[in-house]
Amino acid sequence: MDRNSEEFVAEIRDFNRFYTNFIGLVNRNILKSPYSLAEVRVLLEIDAAGRCTARDLTRKLDIDPGYLSRMLSRFTKNGLVEGSVSPSDGRAKILSLTDKGRDTFRQVSSESSRQVASILGELPEKDWLRLINSMRSIRSILSHGNNREISIRTHRIGDLGYIIYRHAVLYQEEYGLGPVFEDYLLEGFLAFSRSEQPGTIWIAEDGDQIVGSIAIAGIDSEAAQLRWFLIEPEYRGVGLGRRLMTVAMDHCRDKGYRKVFLWTFSDLHAARHLYKEYGFQITEEHPNDSWKPGIVEERWDISLE
């Protein structure tokens, strides 16, 4: 492990200590209940499932079976959980919460909501979205794309400015493109917004966070241009690019366009692979040193006839 890695590890451990102390997780019992965090989590999963087995809980929570067994015995003894023989496997028990168990869980859940509301109440309202977006980023990075519920919608007021900002920032960070590229973006969006030809931008969102975009700009009744295709780094490799491409290309076919083209450059390997997968082919290439020395711009075309 190099020095930078050690510093990152220390930062993560320091954050963990801060958060567990802040939220009160170091207490033996949580949220003024007689139960630990792990026990409350098991109650939550049983409540959410309605009916489940110990094996389901072990798989879901990645918890030691022996520890879980002792926990469930305590719940049963306290009248929180009841079990019935599984009709499909006589060796397994179907677990569910009793009325007392549901009441207990509801009390803990209500206390948790009050705690969160109290935390938010101590913060300026302008910081709420920053906090939530930071939490979403942590979850997205650590989940490696699993369990994401990403929606796609058409653009609305305010989206254009944000898309310009993210394109300019990411392309500078990842490819070293500077102010000239940002000017190119501004000119393109201004022309798009003033064009008499129909055009649509689709926005991918994880909750309220914009995580991707793609656009189709009408050129005339027969041709359209695919533009501003971008996926945030932590959302790449989870199929979002294909979802956006499919939405855009289906739109082109529905509108009766006979051909679609796009401009990109040779360093965008993942996007170029996707364009090829959807049937686009390179039809033109030329250097563009105004963006950065060595950049090769490419035009890709597809016929929809």
The three-state secondary structure class of 132 is helix
Q: What are phi and psi of 206, to 5 degrees?
A: -110, 100
pLDDT value at residue 217: 94
For residues 42-51, average pLDDT: 83
pLDDT value at residue 230: 94
Highest mean pLDDT among 6-10, 18-22, 173-177: 173-177
Given pLDDT bands bounded at 50, 70 and 90, which one contains residue 46?
confident
Whether residue 53 contacts residue 68, with contact meaning beta carbons closer than 8 Å, is answered with no
Strand order in 296-303's β-sheet? 150-154, 199-206, 209-218, 223-231, 259-265, 296-303, 281-287
Query: What Å distances lie between residue 238 and 85, 96, 140, 215, CA to CA?
Result: 40, 35, 11, 20
pLDDT value at residue 143: 66
Residue 170 is encoded by which pair of tokens?
A: 């990411």
Q: How far apart are CA 43 and CA 28, in angstroms?
A: 17
Domains, the chain: 31-122 (1.10.10.10), 150-303 (3.40.630.30)
What are 82-123's pLDDT values in tens digits? 988 766 666 778 888 899 988 888 888 888 788 778 878 888
Given pLDDT bands bounded at 50, 70 and 90, which one contains residue 52?
confident
Q: How far apart are CA 296 and CA 305, in angstroms?
A: 29
Given pLDDT bands bounded at 50, 70 and 90, which one contains residue 26?
very low
pLDDT value at residue 247: 94
Q: Which amino acid would we find at residue 176?
A: G
Given pLDDT bands bounded at 50, 70 and 90, which one contains residue 34?
confident
Residue for token digits 């499932």?
49
Residue 131 is encoded by which pair of tokens?
A: 């906090």
Share above pLDDT 70 across residues of the chain, in percent, rounded to a whole number: 90
Q: How far apart are CA 279 and CA 302, in angstroms?
A: 6
**What are the helix (H) ranges across 78-228?**
99-121, 128-143, 159-175, 179-194
Higher pLDDT, 32 or 181: 181
What are 245-292's pLDDT values in tens digits? 999 999 999 999 999 999 999 888 888 989 999 999 999 999 988 888
What are 206-253's pLDDT values in tens digits? 877 899 999 999 999 899 999 999 998 888 877 889 999 999 999 999
pLDDT value at residue 283: 96
